[in-house]
Amino acid sequence: MGKRFGDSDDPLLVSVRSGARVSMPGMMDPILNLGLNDQTVIGLAASSGDERLVWDSYRRFVQMLASVVLGIDHALFDDVLENVARRTRVSEKTCGLRSQGRQIRSDVAVWSTI
């Protein structure tokens, strides 16, 4: 039947981009992977076989949404990522497993309404 938006087993992900062919000053930045949430990320990780990629994509989605739509300073995410990396003893670039993704999501939820 195909992918469906919000389906926790086989989610449809979309990208929201400005209508212009070429980005111009003042235009909205794109938001990628719209459709990822706490449920769909688990199904997508299972179907893709790449849990790290999916959780990292989810983190990036939340970061883009918060920055572009809510105007939350991008640097706050860097602080959260650094703290989780330090607590889990991994590099920031390898944060992306479910436990780290959940911790990042939890830390972001403290100051975000996403």
Question: Do 60 and 13 meet the contact criterion of CB atoms below 8 Å apart?
Answer: no
Cα 26 to its chain centre, rounded Å, is: 23
3-class SS of residue 33: strand
51-68 and 74-88 helices, crossing angle to 10°: 150
Which pLDDT does position 28 carry in this prediction?
Answer: 75
Per-residue confidence in pLDDT tens, the chain, 114 aa: 588 898 988 899 999 887 777 767 777 788 889 999 888 988 898 888 988 888 888 888 888 888 888 888 878 877 777 777 777 666 555 555 555 566 566 655 554 444
* Distance, first Cα to last Cα, the chain: 30
Q: What's the CA gap between 47 and 74, in Å, rounded?
A: 30
